[in-house]
Structure 1
């Protein structure tokens, strides 16, 4: 069975051995029958935000660290020491502090994380042009046909990349390797942190069979509960069912789970896959109920979304808002625009109309707004004969953008930016 040492990269003998590298004595060995036959990888940074902070603050290395908002916010990332106490991403900060009161808490420094993410992406690009970023800290890579270029198999190339990221960027990653994206992503989660896991073709069905259907990509809580009502909780159960039955019972979702429960995923690694949406949100210092105060929080988020649209040379056609109640119930609503837009004012008007329908006295702790149906901006914000004031609003925003480009964002604001006292 083929194998190599993840530390010194020595090729291992096909038989024998005591579980350690015969050259450097490391136990970090990678052995698999299909080791050099697979080419789809998924790389996921380990507790990325916390890892970057610990890299820059060696005094935090052995301490539990939580990255997130203040007492009212949520956990963005928790280091593995903090996770031993039960802290996890998206957990309310007050709960995380109760579970791990000794943790150091730092606010996120997104620009620093983006810079590290760009450096990692550059190293990925040296391996293959087929890199599909999923987020700031993870990506798919297709290394098909790169053996002759790098004089090594994709598995060895990915291992060397992981070592370079650790030594040059100062953070660790976990690697998944398989024959498609779904399985590569599953594999990268199997042995965190600093893991390297492989799911081969011959073991695909047996590997997936005992796993919960909730691990299928795209299956959320609602879909999981619908399947559970039919007694379907594992992929083995799906594997035993005819496709026709699942389609009749669950429609498109039935087709989806039938294929992925068998490890069938035809999606390609798409290096130019565009962003599907652009959004911004904020958690309040204290809960808000009245519409005017919620609207005041909404406006700067609309400006952020518009700035990102313009920077990416995109326009959007569907506006959606997100609200979280004081009891942590999540509400989402959306509205399709008559024409795509890049303007903060247009986004705000659509978002405000959605907000009015929900702000009926409930207390909220978070608000967010985003835009999707992204497209080329050439047809954005056309002249609207039914709204003669639309061109004036567009010119005002263009003038504000021009001033801010020269003097900074705070050089000019709308009166709407002045929040009412609460």
Structure 2
């Protein structure tokens, strides 16, 4: 059974019987050993940066290193990321900020610096792409890698290449990452969560079934809180409880996700790693310091959000075929509305005029803590905003917005604005997927 040292990269092809296996590396005395019968064969991995936002902030400010740190926005915001020290107090991502501070009152709170995180994340991605062209990002701080066929190129097993990658991320970028190595995407994703932070876990074909049997159903990729509660109500607590059910029974009871439940419960996942994952949506949302219910106030903020989404689509050369409005009430209930466009658009005015009546309909006395706008079903910008015989003024609106964009590109975003933008909030992008 092969053994690999994560610190000096020493590889030993054969280890003694289980009861005599080494506890430390015979070369450097490190206890960080990886021992698995399939270590020389597995090539598919999932890499996930540890507490990414918080790690970047601690890297840039050493004074924060031994302190509980929360990345989030304002007293009415939610936790974007919590460092592992803050997590010991029960702080979790997406937790309301007031609850997080109640759990960990000594925590230091920093607002997200998305541009800095993106810059760091792209550096990590570039390091992955130097090793294999098959890198499939899931977000700015995590991705799948398929290293099959790269053993000759790098002169070493994929496991060694990945161990060196994790070490290089620490030394060159200053943050840590955890890696899961397996034979398919689902199992690699699960493995990367098993030993955080600075983890390296292996799930091979030989031990997957045994491992999965005793795990809770929430471990299956794609099982969120709502589905987990439904499964628990049906008496399905552990993954092994799913095995007696056929695929047809699971699909009939839980819809399309039933197919995933059937296969993932058995460690089966036929999806390959694809080098590029197309952008599915572009959105922008903001959380208010105080709940808002006044339509005009919300409409003013809506316009700013539409401008942000429009600018992002133009920059990325996309147009949206569907426009989405998102609201979250004061009791955290989420409301979503969507409208299919007559033709794809990337114009702020079109986004605004489509979502404005949806917003007005929902402003019926209730108050909201969050407002968001997005475009989905994206297509190439070449299909954006064609002439419309039923709307002769559309071409005029398009020319006006194009002229505004030209001035802004030359003189800056605040150089020229529409009248409805005067003295109105201009939220920064919080979501762009």
TM-score by length of structure 2 reads 0.94
Contact residue 72 and residue 285 of structure 1 kept, 8 A: yes
Contact residue 293 and residue 419 of structure 1 kept, 8 A: no
In 1, Cα distance between equivalents of 2:226 and 2:117: 32
SS at match of 1:409: coil
- 1:15-414 equivalences in 2 (<5 Å): 15=16, 16-414=20-418
SS at match of 1:323: strand
Residue 354 and residue 216 in structure 1: after superposition, are their counterparts in 2 closer, same or farther (change >3 A)?
Answer: farther
SS at match of 1:394: helix
Deviation of 1:407 (Å) = 0.7
SS at match of 1:115: helix
Contact residue 324 and residue 331 of structure 1 kept, 8 A: yes
Contact residue 2 and residue 36 of structure 2 kept, 8 A: yes
SS at match of 2:283: strand
Contact residue 190 and residue 221 of structure 2 kept, 8 A: no
Deviation of 1:189 (Å) = 0.5
Deviation of 1:32 (Å) = 0.6
- Size of the aligned set, in residue pairs, is 421
User: Deviation digits for residues 92-142 of structure 1, max 9, x if unmatched?
Assistant: 112211211211111111111111111111110111000011111001100
User: Deviation digits for residues 50-109 of structure 1, max 9, x if unmatched?
Assistant: 111111111111111111111111111111111111111111112211211211111111
Residue 107 and residue 420 in structure 1: after superposition, are their counterparts in 2 closer, same or farther (change >3 A)?
Answer: closer
Structure 2 residue runs of 5 or longer lacking an equivalent are 426-433
Tell me whether 1:7 sits opposite 2:7 in the alignment: yes
Deviation of 1:420 (Å) = 6.5
SS at match of 2:379: coil
Contact residue 297 and residue 419 of structure 1 kept, 8 A: no
RMSD of aligned residue pairs (Cα, Å): 1.5
Contact residue 301 and residue 424 of structure 2 kept, 8 A: no
Residue 315 and residue 213 in structure 1: after superposition, are their counterparts in 2 closer, same or farther (change >3 A)?
Answer: same
In 1, Cα distance between equivalents of 2:324 and 2:126: 33
Contact residue 132 and residue 139 of structure 1 kept, 8 A: yes
Residue 234 and residue 354 in structure 1: after superposition, are their counterparts in 2 closer, same or farther (change >3 A)?
Answer: farther
TM-score by length of structure 1 reads 0.96
Structure 1 residue runs of 5 or longer lacking an equivalent are none
Deviation of 1:405 (Å) = 0.5
